[in-house]
Structures are given as C-alpha cells and as structure tokens.
A and B are shown apart, each in its own frame.
Chain A
Amino acid sequence: MSPARAVLRWAGVVTGLLAVAAAHLLARGGADPATAAEALLGDRSGLDHRIVAELGAPRLVTALLTGAALGVAGLVLQTALRNPLAAPEFTGVNPGAVLGILAGLQSGLVPADSAGGALAAALAGGAAGGLVTWVIAGRSDAGGLVVAGLLGGALLAGFTTLLLAYQPSRFGNALRWLIGSVEGRVWEHLAHGWWWVCGWTLLAWAGAAALGVLSGGDEHAASLGLNPRVARALLLGAAIALSAGAASLAGAVSFVGLVVPHAARWASGGDPRRGVPLAALLGAGAVTLADAVAQVATRLLADGGAAHRLGVPTGVVTALAGAAVLVTVARRSRHLPG
C-alpha cells in the first residue's frame, strides 16, 4: 500500500472514532452539540455544561480506554497463542479480574470507588484466572486452550456466584461488574486506569515486532533470534495487565476482546505493528459505540414509561452485537474464524 493511502486509511479510522465519540456525548440527551463543545473547552456555566464535563466526558473516556485495552489484549492473546478464539473472556483472565474486584469489594479490602484498589484487585484476579486456565490447559493445543479457558471461566464464575449468594444484598452493586458498564464513572475512577491502559498499549505496540515473529510459530521465532517462551510470557503479561485494566474500569465487557482483533487483523494484514494500534482504535470505537447505543436504549426505556430510570449496561450491547457478529461469521465460513 502506498504511504498516501495508508495515511488516508488511518485518518479515516481516527475520524470515525471522533464521530463515534461525539455521538456518545450527545447520546445521553440534554446537551446540544454547541453546549457539549463549550463544556469540553472548559465552559462550566450551565447545568448541561457540567453534566457533559463531569459525567459525559469521563464516561466517554472510560469507554474509549476500556475498548482500547480489550482490543489490544485480545489481539495480543490471539497472536501470541496463535488461537483465533483466545480472548480475555475465554482465557480466564476477565472472569478472574471480575472475581478479584468483587472479592475485594465484599471483603472490604478494596474501598468502594477506589480506582487503585479496583485495579490491583482486577490484576490479582486476572493473573490468578490466567494461571487457573494455564494449569487446566496443561500442554494441550490451541483448541484445548479455549476449552480450558471456558472451564476456568466457569470455575471462577462459580466462585463469583458463591460470593454473591453469601451476601445477596450486594447483588445490585455487583451487577455492573458482572455485565460490564461504564455508567456513572467519573474522573476519580480514571485516576490510574488512563496511564495503566495507555502505558501497556504502548508497551504492547513496542512488542509488536516480536509478536509478529512469534505468530509464525515457535521454531520460526527461535530461528529469528527470539526466545519464544520468554517473549510469549511477556506478551501474555501485557495482555493480562490490559484485561485487568479494562475490568477495573468497566467490569466484564464481553466480546470486544474477541471480535475486534479479527477486524483489526483483517484490515491490517498479518503485521501486528499496524494491528496493535488499529485494535486499540477499533476497540475504543466499539465500546464507545456500544455505550452510545446503551444510552439511547436507556432513554427509550425511560420515555416508554419505565418508572425507574433503568440503565442498560454497556456489556449487554456488546454481548448482543458480538454474538450477532459471531453467528454471522460462523454461518458464512462454516468454520470458526481464523
């Protein structure tokens, strides 16, 4: 591809992302585009301005970061494990991170609304979840890994259920983590998440050349001077860190980490040096778009007379959309993607 066309394509992706972000800010209703723009530029004069600046904008940034983290984590997992079905939710990492957060909150180890505490708990849980999968998988092949990931995820979900059954009164609060939602996230919640996700995304990008070499198999990588085990361990560590970061921001947003990497690879070819940034942008766009849809759905439900302003969680939208994509792909190709 010529450089000019490449620049055009990247510009197209970024423009699309900006459009989705703008739609997200307006999807809540209440603020017209002019107000939203003023609020973003620092105007805090009216209530609508403040709502955009203090609720809408952090929610948008949370969605962008969550999506970017999931997209990159999924791409790294799928490429490093050479498994098109590897994803944060299918490797025990995401269920583990959610279990970690809930366990931390319920035990009181993590104070409610502590951004750093949620991140640490998600990281511990995600690493433990990945370890469970790794132990179950043993030395099995790519297909076995997904089975092990599902088994590990089921095991961790069982623990989560146990935790909730123990204190059912907290179920309402736990729901946002279980389904995945960016609603009600304010700037304080992003205190650590932003640098965590940005930093690990950049590190994953720095490792993209190694990721590309690794995708050709362990012998291929070793022949090119890369120790495949060390490289894979480091890359999987980055994927766990990113998944945990996403979980600490928005809980278990599913399917983004599975579907977005396929789109990123399809568009970028087999070169992760383009795939990683593309997965970050597409993931950010996917979660933001899903949350915009969730906000519109919430408004429609409220207008339809639902007495409580019932919030449609972002995770519901990504799960439905992701399932639709997977069914379409499976029907079209008669075998699973990859």
Chain B
Amino acid sequence: MIGETRAAARQDPVSAQDPPGPAISVRGLRFSYGDREVLRGVDLDVAAGEFVALVGTNGCGKSTLLRLVSGLLAPAAGSVRLAGRDVAATSRREISRRVAVLHQTLPPVPGLTARQLVRQGRFPHRGALGMLWEPDDGTADAAMAAAGVAHLADRALDTLSGGERQRVRLALAVAQDAPVLLLDEPTAHLDVRHQLEVLALVRELRDRRGLTVVTVLHELDHAARFADRVVALAAGRVHADGPPAQVITPALLAEVFGVRGRVLHDSGRDAPYCLLDEPIA
C-alpha cells in the first residue's frame, strides 16, 4: 500500500496509469451537518480541462460539495472519484497532489510573505526528509509569474489588496501543481475590476495548463461569461446542469433563487446576462 502510494507519487498526477474517466466523478453523494441533510444524492461528472461554475443559494451545499470532492469531508453515502481513483481510499497527501483548493478565507498569518505562502504549495510534493531542506526548484517563482504576482513576492500578505491576495493564492494553487483546481467564491469581497481580473486569470490558467476548474460563484453573469458549464444546486441535488445559455434562464432565477428576472443575450460575448427585478413574494 505504501509502496503503491510512492509509485503513484513519482508519476505525473495525470499519468497514463490512471484509469481513464472524467477528472471528477461524483455519484449519489449525500452529506449532513448533524440533522440537516445538505446534499441528498448529487451526481456530477467533470471532464478534464472543463471550467464549471457551481451556483445556488447560500447554504445549498456548494462549499460542502467542494470539500467532499477534495476529501476534506467524508460523505455519508456515495462516492467521489478523481481521474477514476476513489478519494476515500486515497491518502491526504496524494489527494493534495491531485486537487488544489482555494478556500473562502485564509486566516491571516502576520508577516507571511507572498513567496513564503506560495512555496507552501510544494509541501505535498516533499518527502519526509524534505521537510527541512527543501530544494528551491523555482516552481514557486514560476507559479507567481504565471499568476502575475512575481513583483509581490517579498510583500507581506497583510499589506496586499484583496485582489492581489487572491492572485497570490492562485499562485499557491499553481505551485501545488495539481490537475484539478477547486475555488470557493474566489471573487468574494472583491471590487468589480478585481473580480474580472481573478476570473480571467483562472481561465487563463485553465487554458495554458489544462486545469480542470470547479468554482463556486454567486454572480451569475460571471458564471455565464467565464464558465463552459453551469451547475445549479438546489434542495441538495443538481437542479440544472449544462452550458450557461441553457441553465441560466428566468425559470432558474425563479425556482432556485426565488427572484423574478429577465435573461438577455449578449451577442458580443455570446453569453446570457441577467436583469434581476425583485424577490418573488
């Protein structure tokens, strides 16, 4: 078992040895916080290289789904497979080589610089003896360059703006060098410009590095514009799943979000956008 893990560790995370299959495959996933059942049988397949936006109301289980996919929570029933491999039977360390997660918040660490944080992304790739003497192979610097934050490397995180910090955290995920990237509301608390910058960067990373991206988004217009596919969760299940133009409809606004609204089409970008009118009484 240990030998098997080691062997897998030497392989590229998306090696040919992995059983074929979607990058993420979720079947019959159920999860409860105490008595409250949040997920009641979620099925979802995400192909390698896809950019999926997960939408739904507050507390509908979007973040929980990301935690289950990354093995941070164990499901009450159902299974999660990453490139064919059952997450429940995979070590924490091995999962972290396959999935990078951007959580909603990162507790402030006084004095921590951007480079120090990004270098933590190499943690899953170190052996037991590499804990102390990690060779600086330049991966962290390359990740910062890819995320456009090389110039911030020596700045303390608590001196950065929200948008800069989010880009540094994306660099951390890049340094982790995992084929799957999960993002939990990456644009929360950012102004519109930084929201666009962060999402454009995510898409650019997807395009250039072939990442599979699943991101929780509250802004439907962002989902429509940046994602290949929108998955709407409601009542603990997948309510709608498909290309943005199919999923984002007045019916979705009413049924999932309880809002009366119109959905127009931006022909320039070939994407729908919403005009929200009022909550449905």
Contact = CB atoms under 8 A, between A and B. Distances in A.
Given A82-B107, A209-B126, A270-B116, A222 B92 contact: yes
B146 to A, nearest CB: 19
Contacts of B113: 269-271
A220 B126 CA distance: 17
Interface stretch (A210-218, A283-291, A301-309): A210-218
Given A209-B131, A216-B120, A222 B112 contact: no
Given A219-B72, A223-B96, A223-B100, A266 B111 contact: yes
Contacts of B70: 223
B111 A270 contact: yes
Contacts of B109: 215-216, 270
A207 B123 CA distance: 12
A266 to B, nearest CB: 7
A224 interface: yes
Given A216-B106, A216-B117, A227 B112 contact: no
Interface string B87-108: 0000111111101110101110
Given A219-B103, A220-B103, A220-B106, A206 B111 contact: no
Interface in B98-143: 99-101, 103, 105-107, 109-113, 116-117, 120-121, 123-124, 126, 131-132, 134
A226 interface: yes
Given A206-B131, A223-B72, A269 B116 contact: yes
B92 A338 contact: no
A222 B124 CA distance: 10
Nearest to A215: B109
A216 B93 CA distance: 17
B72 A222 contact: yes
- Scoring B94, B106, B111, B154 by chain A CB atoms within 10 A of each residue's CB, the highest score goes to B111
Interface in B164-207: 176
Interface in A202-243: 205-210, 212-213, 215-217, 219-220, 222-227
Contacts of A220: 103, 106-107
Given A223-B72, A224-B124, A266-B111, A212 B106 contact: no
A265 B111 contact: yes
B220 interface: no
Contacts of B94: 225
A226 B110 contact: no
A265 B156 CA distance: 13
Contact of A223 (B103, B117, B157): B103
A198 to B, nearest CB: 15
Contact of A225 (B105, B106, B123, B156): B123
A206 B92 contact: no
A192 interface: no
Contacts of B176: 224
A1 interface: yes
B110 A209 contact: no
A176 interface: no
A213 B37 CA distance: 32
Given A219-B72, A270-B113, A271-B112, A224 B107 contact: no
Interface string B11-30: 00000000000000000000
Given A213-B123, A216-B109, A223-B96, A1 B134 contact: no
Given A220-B107, A223-B72, A223-B96, 11 more contacts: A206-B132, A207-B131, A209-B132, A212-B120, A219-B72, A223-B100, A223-B103, A226-B92, A265-B110, A269-B116, A270-B157
25 contacts: A208-B131, A209-B126, A209-B132, A210-B123, A210-B131, A215-B112, A216-B106, A216-B109, A216-B120, A217-B106, A220-B103, A222-B72, A223-B70, A223-B99, A223-B103, A224-B120, A225-B91, A225-B97, A225-B123, A226-B93, A269-B112, A269-B116, A270-B109, A270-B113, A273-B132
Interface of B: 70, 72, 91-97, 99-101, 103, 105-107, 109-113, 116-117, 120-121, 123-124, 126, 131-132, 134, 154, 156-157, 176
List the 4 shortest-distance A-B pairs measured between CB atoms, nearest first: A270-B112, A225-B96, A225-B124, A225-B93
